[in-house]
Amino acid sequence: MTLAVAIALTIITAATPLLIAAIGELVVERAGVLNLGVEGMMIMGAATGVGVAIVTESSLLGVLAAIAAGMALSALFALMVLGLAANQYASGLALTIFGLGLSGVVGAPFVGIQREGIRRIELPLLSEIPVIGPILFRQDPFVYASIALVAGVAWFLWRTRAGLILRACGENPVSAHALGYRVLRIRLYAVLFGGACAGLAGAYLSLVLTPFWTAGMTAGRGWIALAIVVFASWLPLRAMLGAYLFGGLIILQLHAQTAGVNIPSQFLAALPYLITIVALTLIMAARRSAGRGSVAPASLGQPFAPAR
Amino acid sequence: MRLTMERRAEGGKWALLLSPLLAVVLTLVSSVVIFWLLGQDPLRALSVYFWQPVSDAYGLQEVAVKATPLVLIAVGLALCFRSNNWNIGAEGQFLIGAICGGGVAVWAHGWGGAWVLPLMLVAGALGGMAYALIPAILKARLRVNEILVSLMLVYVADLFMDYLVRGPWRDPMGFNMPQTVSFGPEATLPLLFTGGRMNIGSVIALAVVVAFALVMARTLKGFEIRLVGQAPRAARFAGFSDTRLTITVFAISGALAGLAGVIEASGTVRQLLPGFSPGYGFTAIIVAFLGRLNPVGCLIAGVFIAITFIGGENAQIILRLPRDMTLVFQGMLLFYILACDTLILYRLRVVRPVDPGATPAPGVRS
């Protein structure tokens, strides 16, 4: 039983950064913008987060700096795709390349400096309940934040007027504009929110999961977060399900490696990527056989310039 | 007060040539600022990045060696991007090409004849093509997102290479180092000059550029690729099938990336080992855009980026700048290209709102 609890805990830890990044990107895509730069914003969050935390000796400042870094990069992206109506695919790729490079430069002085990770919050008494106690009431603050984010985004998108307007900008920006909504401004807020989430997810990697900096430590997690959004059909609760599924698979692979399963470790390490492909294929095949068309926001990835 | 954009009436060909040049100049200016902020002498740093690599014959050969894979991959990617197929997994196709071609070399090591080299090139190209067909077929059949699939396959190819050179293909005499045997003379591309590393691969790349320039400008297929990118609806009315085109451009770009991989393995590195590629497949994306998605443009852009590639390596040693600085410049360059494209095609204008509130902005009239 304790092993099962331990595994559940590690799955949550592996899933949380994916979930935080995915939920941010989900809002961005709901507003009609495709930001392929999640990986770049995430790794900048990781580098800035751990750097600031080491310099100021404060994890909280590290987290805030990571969020700011993610937002700064997303503001650059917004300038490109909203301000200049540049190609969203290419701009996102540029953001990823730029972020990977800049994180290496920013993180260089902090290579190999180990620090104590952010601790878990233990709710007294409640965390003593067997099984569910440790899972529900003995987590680090990020896990609670990620759950709150999912709930908040789900409520915002489907229960508020602002959320409806945001989705309208993703479905039909021309109509939203004709109704007098500031499409570009709304998209800007969405992109900044996505950047903040990606930065926060990066901070989780470098401040909790592995509390030190290594170059390229995101290892494709930003891209898996993008895949989760597709897998989740742009629905927040399904994104949570998707993130936990992926987290579970990553942990399964780690356990198989340590248990000495007779498969080369590289094959196990490749599993999350292969499973991403399989999952995307299955979900598209299922949608096709269900006879449903695309569930993506109708204007996803298309630039909108009111004056053109 | 807000900004609107209007399409410029004039422009045309010159404007399209101007934008990459302007982007390069802006990147140079920004890098001077960055060097200055990092406490480096900007002029010295610029000379390390952009002048030293081309200042002697050996350096020029190195530029050709680095430009060869970049140009080959970028020419293929340009076809994809032109037709709205986002193959960003060229890095994986490059590695699989190296693995397939290198596999022939490892297998034939010590007993192969003159047939080894041609077989390697064919195996590399076919391997890259097959690997690129995975995202292509999934996209054509089920509309699975090709960006994510092709990118995930990069990680898979990287791990597969790692497995091979640490496992079945490890050089038995290699003191347990994770690498294959050094390829024999029957499996290495001949050098063009003594005293350098430039090899036949660069000639192949040039031939590919010429061939594709002709295909794009003179054939129906070239027209189809250009049309689908520029006017998808018109292309559909003309009877061009976009799923078939997806398969075609992915196959071509995968084959070219695979060919680049086997040329790198056989001509330059001459064995397989972890960290085989310094990210050519990703850098080629920038080369393709800098080259205006045009084969000849990709050649020029590939040579320029190759110079900065070597400059980055030199800067790491001479100026002790982190190697990732090169990535920062590359990302910046791509941003500038995209921004210049907009600024040259459109005119930004400040508009004062007539009636702030619910009325549509004046630009709507168009």
**Chain segment A212-245, per-residue pLDDT in tens:** 888 888 888 999 999 999 888 899 999 999 999 8
Q: Which of B5, B327, B338 sits opposite A100 (nearest CB)?
A: B327
Strands B346-351 and A121-122: unpaired
Contact B138 A281 (CB under 8 A): yes
Question: Which of A29, A82, A95, A105 to probe the B interface (max B CBs under 10 A)?
Answer: A105
| Model confidence at B162: pLDDT above 70 | yes
- In chain B, the percentage of residues whose pLDDT exceeds 90 is 39
What's the number of domains chain A is made of? 1
| Model confidence at A159: pLDDT above 90 | yes
Which residues of chain B are in CATH 1.10.3470 domains? 65-311
Contact B338 A281 (CB under 8 A): no
Chain A residues with CB-CB distance to B327 below 8 A? 97-98, 100-102, 104
Three-state SS at B298: helix
- Domain with A167, as residue range(s), is 2-218
- Maximum CA extent, chain B: 83
Is B90 within 8 Å of B77 (Cβ atoms)? yes
**Chain segment B194-234, per-residue pLDDT in tens:** 777 888 889 999 999 999 999 888 888 888 887 777 777 77
- 3-class SS shares of chain B: helix, strand, coil, % to 5: 70, 5, 25
Average pLDDT over residues A76-104: 91
Q: Name the minimum distance, in Å, from the CA of B240 to any CA of chain A.
A: 22
Q: At what angle do helices A236-258 and A265-289 cross, to 10 degrees?
A: 150
What per-residue string of b and e applies to B227-262 under the rule 16 or more CB within 10 Å gives b?
bbbeeeeebeeeebeeeebbbbbbbbbbbbbbbbbb
Contact B342 A90 (CB under 8 A): no
pLDDT grade for A125, boundaries at 50, 70 and 90: low
φ/ψ of B346, rounded to 5, equals -125, 155
Degrees, nearest 5: CA angle B84-B257-B245: 35
Which distant-in-sequence residues (6+ apart) come within 8 Å of A198 by Cβ?
A: A20, A21, A24, A25, A38, A41, A42, A45, A70, A74, A222, A225
Q: Name the minimum distance, in Å, from the CA of B62 to any CA of chain A.
A: 23
Which H or E run includes A139?
strand A138-139
Is B271 within 8 Å of B182 (Cβ atoms)? yes
Chain A residues with CB-CB distance to B360 below 8 A? 177-178, 180, 306
What is the C-alpha R_g of chain B?
23
Is A305 part of any domain?
Answer: no
Is B199 within 8 Å of B190 (Cβ atoms)? yes
What CA–CA distance (Å, rounded) separates A99 from A21? Answer: 15
Residue A301 falls in which region: left (phi positive, over 0), alpha (psi -120 to 50) or beta = left
pLDDT grade for A137, boundaries at 50, 70 and 90: low
Is A135 part of any domain?
Answer: yes
What are the distances in angstroms from CA B6 to CA A62, A173, A306, B2, B359? 43, 19, 10, 13, 20
Chain A residues with CB-CB distance to B339 below 8 A? 80, 84, 86
Class of domain B65-311: mainly alpha
Is A25 part of any domain?
Answer: yes
User: Which ipTM value was assigned to this complex?
Assistant: 0.86
What CA–CA distance (Å, rounded) separates B290 from B286? Answer: 6
pLDDT grade for A251, boundaries at 50, 70 and 90: confident
Average pLDDT over residues A12-22: 92
Which distant-in-sequence residues (6+ apart) come within 8 Å of A55 by Cβ?
A: none
How many of the other CB atoms lie within 10 Å of CB of A89? 17
Chain B residues with CB-CB distance to A264 below 8 A? 163, 167
Is A291 part of any domain?
Answer: no
**Chain segment B66-92, per-residue pLDDT in tens:** 999 999 999 999 999 988 899 999 999
Q: Name the minimum distance, in Å, from the CA of A7 to any CA of chain B.
A: 25
B345 at the A interface (CB within 8 A)?
Answer: no
Is A288 part of any domain?
Answer: no
Q: Please give the pLDDT value at position B363.
A: 43
Is A277 within 8 Å of B149 (Cβ atoms)? yes
